[in-house]
Amino acid sequence: MAQTVSTRPAGLFRRVSNPEKRKKRSEALTAYIFLLPYLFIFLTFTVFSIGYAFYLSFTRYNLLRPPEWWGLEGYRRVLCLEALLPRGEDAPPLACDDLFIKKALPNTVKYTLIVVPTQTVLSLILAFAMDQKLRFRRLFRTIYYLPSVTSSVVISLIFVWLFSPLGIVNQLFNLNINWLNDPRYAFYTIMILNVFTTSGTLMLIFLAGLQDIPTAIYEAASIDGANKFQVLRYITIPMLRPVVFFVVTVGLIGCFQVFDQIYVMTSGGPLDSTTTVAYLIYKWAFRDTTVKMGQAAALSFILALIILVFTLIQRRIIEGSGSVGSA
């Protein structure tokens, strides 16, 4: 607590002659009192937990025995550095798990690269459509938003039925695909599910962004004789840039952490085709007979680092030469 308070200007309780300043200080104090309950929860359950997890990432810990200091061994085992080198047939077994570099990381990157652009473009198109003066516009907006307010576990279970071999999807398109049990299709099924559930929320954000663009600019463009496409290309999309940055960032972080749909629908199978980094963390931390809490914690921090790097790269790309502004 003391730390938080001391970040404010040094003389919080010093006598101030200026009544303006005094008012400001008392406002700040009130604000902190209001923030206190949240700060307490935040510090114990987020800051402390992350700190302790960071400590655990340098230990060997199976929950049954106290953690034992292990240095960087956990990180080495996650990255499985030796596995990156060619090894002979009869080489002794490696003391590491190459599931991360061989399956979880490529799967997660693939998932992100497919889902993020798809859901962004789809929700942008939806937002444009909903921005027009359509009949039943409100009804459509509600329908598109509905999946986003439904529990992801419930939607996952519904999708399990929809995509079962005798399910409605196969019947409708006259297919005979075992969507969730075939390593070739299982991951794509989950991608479809994710695009379906998130597009509604992203549409709403884009819609807010669209309605934020001042009409004066459009009017000016129409006076200058710009056609619809030019308006879209030179006004709407550039003006939406901060919103696009937000949507892509949120989507990116969400995709890298995709977990619940996989937990419910496939448990990482078949043949690890749907094992993602977040699911692998869960598996190591809780599923194994001998749990690897330290290794799981190490992977959590590696994942955080990956997300940070990807967000920075993407910020570069979207910013381009111009500036993103307040986003």
Partner 1 sequence: MKTLLKWFVPLMVLSLLLAACQPAATPTPEKVIETVTVEKEKEVVKTVEVEKPAERAVVRLSGWAASPEETALLQSILLDFTVENPDIVVKYEPITGDYWQQLKTSIASGVEPDVFYMDIFQFPAFVRDEVLLPIDDLMAKEGVKRDDFIPSLIDAFSDAGVTYGIPKDFNTLGLFYNKDLFAQAGIAEPTDDWTWDDLKAAAEALSDPANNIYGLGVPADPGRFPIFVFQNGGSIMTEDYSDTLLDSPVAVEAATFYTDFRKNQSGAIPADVGEGWQGTVFGKGQFAMVYEGGWLIPYLKQQFPDINYGVVTPPAGPKGEGNLIFTVAYVISRNSKNPEAAMRVINYLTSEKAQTKVLESGFALPTRLSLQNSEYLKTNPASSAIFRGALQGARPFVWGLVGSDVNEQMGKALERIYLENQPVDESLKQAAQVIRQKIAEVK
Q: Which residue in the set 34, 48, 69, 234 belongs to the binding site for partner 1 (CB under 8 A)?
A: 48
Radius of gyration of the chain (CA): 25
Q: Least CB distance from residue 285 to partner 1, whole Å?
A: 5
Stretch that binds partner 1, among 7-15, 119-127, 131-139, 180-188 (CB under 8 A): 180-188
Q: Number of helices and strands (H, E) in the chain?
A: 17, 2
Tokens 């576990």 sit at which residue?
153
Q: Least CB distance from residue 152 to partner 1, whole Å?
A: 11
Residues 302, 277: Cα–Cα separation, whole Å: 10
Asked if residue 182 binds partner 1 (CB under 8 A), the reply is yes
Q: Which is nearer to partner 1, 169 or 239 (CB)?
A: 169
Q: For the purposes of burial, counting CB atoms within 10 Å of the CB of 108, is it exposed (0-12), middle (13-18) or buried (19 or more)?
A: buried
* Residues 98-127, mask of contacts with partner 1 (x by CB under 8 A): ------------------------------
Residues 132, 126: Cα–Cα separation, whole Å: 10
Residues 139, 129: Cα–Cα separation, whole Å: 13
Asked if residue 52 binds partner 1 (CB under 8 A), the reply is yes
Q: Least CB distance from residue 63 to partner 1, whole Å?
A: 4
Q: Least CB distance from residue 200 to partner 1, whole Å?
A: 20
Residues that bind partner 1 (rule: CB under 8 A) add up to a total of 48
Helices 241-256, 105-131: crossing angle, 10 deg rounding: 140
Asked if residue 293 binds partner 1 (CB under 8 A), the reply is yes
Stretch that binds partner 1, among 25-33, 87-95, 221-229, 230-238 (CB under 8 A): 87-95
Asked if residue 65 binds partner 1 (CB under 8 A), the reply is yes
292 φ/ψ angles, rounded to the nearest 5 degrees: -120, 75
Residues 181, 235: Cα–Cα separation, whole Å: 46
Q: Which residue in the set 288, 305, 308, 309 belongs to the binding site for partner 1 (CB under 8 A)?
A: 288
List CB contacts of 43: < 8 A, sequence separation 6 or more.
none
Kindly identify the residues of this chain, within the stretch 66-85, that bind partner 1 according to CB under 8 A: 77
Length of the chain counted residue by residue: 327
CB 235 within 8 A of CB 213: yes
Summarize as ranges the residues that interact with partner 1 (CB under 8 A): 44-46, 48-50, 52-53, 56, 62-65, 77, 92-97, 164-166, 178, 181-183, 257, 259, 269-272, 278, 281-282, 285-293, 296-297, 300
